[in-house]
Amino acid sequence: MMFRKKKKVNLVKEFLEKGRSVSIKDREEALNYLVAFVAMIRPRLSEFESANKKFAETLQFLHRHDSVVSNLRVAIMAQLINSNLVPLLTESGITVSRGAGRELYARLKHKLLPPAQDPSDFLYLLNRIFFKHNDYEWVEKIGQEKWIHLFELLGLHFSENNPVIMKQVIVSLQILSARVAQLGWENEITFNTPAQWQPPNNPFAVQQYLVYQIKEQVIRHNQSHEAVQALAKRLNAVLSECFQLVQHIRNETADKGTSLSQTFILFQIEQKLNRMILLLDIADADEKINLARFAKLFITVVRNENRKNSIREFLSQTTSYLAYQIAEHKGKKGSKYITSSPLEYWQMIGSAMWGGLIICFVAIFKNLLGLLQMAPFWHGFVYSVNYSMGFVAIEETRSTLATKQPAFTASAVASSLDARKSDEPPNLYNLAVTVSKVSRSQIASFIGNLIIVFPVTYLLVWLYDWATGHPLVQGEKAVQLLRDQHPWQSLSLLYACNTGFFLFLSGIIAGYVQNKINYGRIDKRLTEHPVLRLSLPANRLQKIATYINEHGGSLAGNIALGFFLGMAGIVGKIFGIPFDIRHITISAANTSIGAYGVGWEHINYRYLANVVAGVLGIGFLNFLVSFSLAFFVAVRSRGIRLKDYPGFLKILWKYFRSHPLDFIRPRKRRSAKEPTQTV
């Protein structure tokens, strides 16, 4: 008991009790005071939900004690005046101007061995204050509005009365301005800049000239506030033009495509422009500062310092727009798979019936190829070619394969929530209607595929038996075909999930290749190719270029899917692991082939019913996995957070209860009172 540990008193409360004041000259003491203040706000790891409550209690504490507010203001100014702010203002939260590969390498290197920090650097102090790796979580949870309230309470302001701070702000503004100008002259930007923004009106060049003039006014001549404010107003207008140009280039990527390099450059320009606007707000000789931007910078910097070496964060930020374009290409195609009227519904069934017919021949050829004596790899290769030709034939005949839809319709559904396309909040009722349309369209395509695949495949194997005098498969092989589709006597449902992933991946490949074709202007390069121009007639070359431009992505996706499905089982055999695929239409065809080989007189009909149920389960998992993955990518690439729409599931359930048949087939008539249903 004699050595009881003395309870540590928080430095903020200790200063309050003793009536002490923080000295602006004692930087270390001021830093300890800020560390102690943040410790008062910081919730425990298990109490992140109570972050807002704790913050509110701290604000009440500040309202009751003016001396604490004064000490905080002095402690913050002591750090700002005595620290190097340039790295904070020009680098924190901003990707350095280097390639995506080099940035990724740098983060990986610093993740293993963090770089040394200069104690005079303000970021070093920030890391001392927000030293826990998850501090950014509760800082973000508190929200921008409450941080604004705290900064208003502290009364922070910047003016010419703070020459040290002002000089660093101007230097930072110059650095960012030069970097924006440099990035603005990159080929990926200049080639896509319209005539109205070409030199001498290029906003990326003009802004650098205006920043130089502001520097001359503030630092060297120190002329009237009106002159600086007039320049700041002109610079604000030019920065707005820079944002317009960035958005213009992004908007054109829907038709022209984009690249990781262009995406990375636009991402960097936008980051730097946002920071320049904040610095201009400080440097415009006006003591007022936009606290909303300041609070946003504060939250961003804390997150960046906690996550500065996060590879996942970097990839998520820089590839979001590239993923967005891939999802957009898929979304445009996905709209054709969504039926609205009874006529479209029956057209979908008819289209799916043609697709099912093609799959019947694919399944027959696959089993014939299995009779060939060759090495496992070549078996997988010929299976892959067979599948690819079938999928390409379905694409060229504009027929439908049910499992190809989810990867595309998911992007179309996510587009309904896309805040980038409208300033208005999404209509959740219309989204529920869209989900019902996707559901019935998917059911229509499954029906169309299966009502053809089951009987026509059976007819084809009967014709084969009649023509050759022996069944395509018989005995144990026929039994094995049925067993492979059984829901619990095989791993068919697990393999169906593998197929769902491959369906999703082939959709990504299709979108990516189509994006590259558009961005690389492949059609124009083909028509202007020196050898092709001499060896082919101009009209034929133009047709080839147009075909590749319109169908190149689909061809790549179909061929990729064919090889994924064809090689999967062979890979499993080579490595001795349970790895294979199950595709609903191919499984349905194999069920018919197996049933004919076994013979109706030897079939247990309950067993056959279980096999058919397994085929339907395979189809459901094909759809569920493919749709879920594609929807996740489409939502993430658009920056949509599903938690922002907590009422959607309730609206969807209410719609399902009132119109359950809409999820199976379209209504023939709609009431005039019913809200307009749009996709």
Average pLDDT per 10 consecutive residues for the chain, totaling 679 residues: 51 83 83 86 71 83 87 84 82 62 68 70 80 82 84 71 76 91 86 85 90 79 70 89 88 68 80 86 67 79 76 62 56 63 86 93 92 89 94 90 78 62 61 81 90 94 91 89 91 93 87 80 86 86 88 89 93 89 92 90 89 93 87 69 70 84 73 42
Q: In this structure, are residues 312 and 656 in contact, taking their beta carbons and an 8 Å threshold?
A: no
Segments of the chain assigned to CATH 1.20.120: 160-288
pTM, 2 dp: 0.67
Segments of the chain assigned to CATH 1.20.1080.10: 325-663
The structure tokens listed for 472 are 């395509």
Whose CA is closest to 192, among 243, 241, 240, 246? 246
Specify the pLDDT at position 257.
Answer: 65
Local structure of residue 162 (DSSP, 8 states): -
The amino acid occupying position 54 is K
Specify the pLDDT at position 426.
Answer: 63
Whose CA is closest to 89, among 277, 259, 230, 226? 277
Specify the pLDDT at position 224.
Answer: 63
**Rounded alpha-carbon distances, angstroms, from residue 424 to 256, 416, 420:** 27, 11, 10
d(CA 581, CA 566): 9
Q: Is the dihedral of CA 55, 59, 64, 67 positive or negative?
A: positive
Alpha carbon 95 to chain centroid, angstroms: 19
Q: In this structure, are residues 446 and 355 in contact, taking their beta carbons and an 8 Å threshold?
A: no
d(CA 679, CA 441): 13
Coil, helix or strand for 121? strand
Q: Kind and range of the H or E element at 595? A: helix 584-598
Superfamily (CATH) of domain 325-663: Glycerol uptake facilitator protein. (1.20.1080.10)
d(CA 71, CA 21): 6
d(CA 145, CA 679): 35
Specify the pLDDT at position 271.
Answer: 84
- List, in order, residues 6 or more apart from 144 with CB less than 8 Å away: 292, 295, 296, 299
Buried b (16+ CB within 10 A) or exposed e, 148-169: bbbbeebebebbeebeebbbbb
Local structure of residue 84 (DSSP, 8 states): B
d(CA 499, CA 41): 49
Q: In this structure, are residues 290 and 236 in contact, taking their beta carbons and an 8 Å threshold?
A: no
d(CA 52, CA 139): 10
Q: Kind and range of the H or E element at 259? A: none
Q: In this structure, are residues 418 and 638 in contact, taking their beta carbons and an 8 Å threshold?
A: yes
84 — phi, psi (to 5°)? -85, 110
CATH architecture of residue range(s) 160-288: Up-down Bundle (1.20)
Buried b (16+ CB within 10 A) or exposed e, 233-272: eebbebbebbeebbeebbeebeebbbbeebbbbbbbbbbb
Q: In this structure, are residues 120 and 28 in contact, taking their beta carbons and an 8 Å threshold?
A: no
The amino acid occupying position 387 is Y
